[in-house]
Amino acid sequence: TYVIAQPCVDVKDKACIEECPVDCIYEGERMLYIHPDECVDCGACEPVCPVEAIFYEDDVPDQWGDYYKANVEFFGDLGSPGGASKMGLINKDHAFISALPPQAG
Ligand code: F3S
Ligand code: F3S
């Protein structure tokens, strides 16, 4: 799977959403999350993020390793919705994202 990391927090550019052929990039309150089971590893999202927040799972920088877990655990209570657009804004974040101080602006 691909993973969204810290640069997305409080930015949420959403250019990535337009590129994903399987609609598996879900919007939380402070960042977006890639569904680890729905992502087909096409990689189309990675180059379009203006803040370079998206990485293949094996390429996540060490300091952002927790974001792999955040992208997986975000879906712990959601299961596999099978499409982000119908879900819209999901009013939560992973607990460790919620605890971060403001990251941008
Ligand atoms: Fe976030 Fe970049 Fe997508 S800022 S919403 S990962 S385009
Ligand atoms: Fe979609 Fe990016 Fe995966 S475009 S299929 S989330 S690699």
Pocket mutation for ligand 2, best pick of 42, 60, 75 (most atoms within 8 Å of C-beta): 42
> 70 CA to middle of ligand 2, Å?
16
Q: By percentage, how much of the chain surpasses pLDDT 70?
A: 98
Q: Please tell me the predicted confidence (pLDDT) of residue 105.
A: 57
Q: Is the CB of residue 48 below 6 angstroms from any atom belonging to ligand 2?
A: no
Chain mean pLDDT for the chain: 97
pTM of the entire predicted model = 0.97
pLDDT digits (tens, 9 = 90+) for 76-94: 999 999 999 999 999 999 9
Name the 3-class secondary structure at 94: coil
pLDDT digits (tens, 9 = 90+) for 30-75: 999 999 999 999 999 999 999 999 999 999 999 999 999 999 999 9
Angstrom CA distances, 45 to 5, 6, 34, 77, 79, stand at: 13, 16, 10, 25, 22
ipTM: 0.98
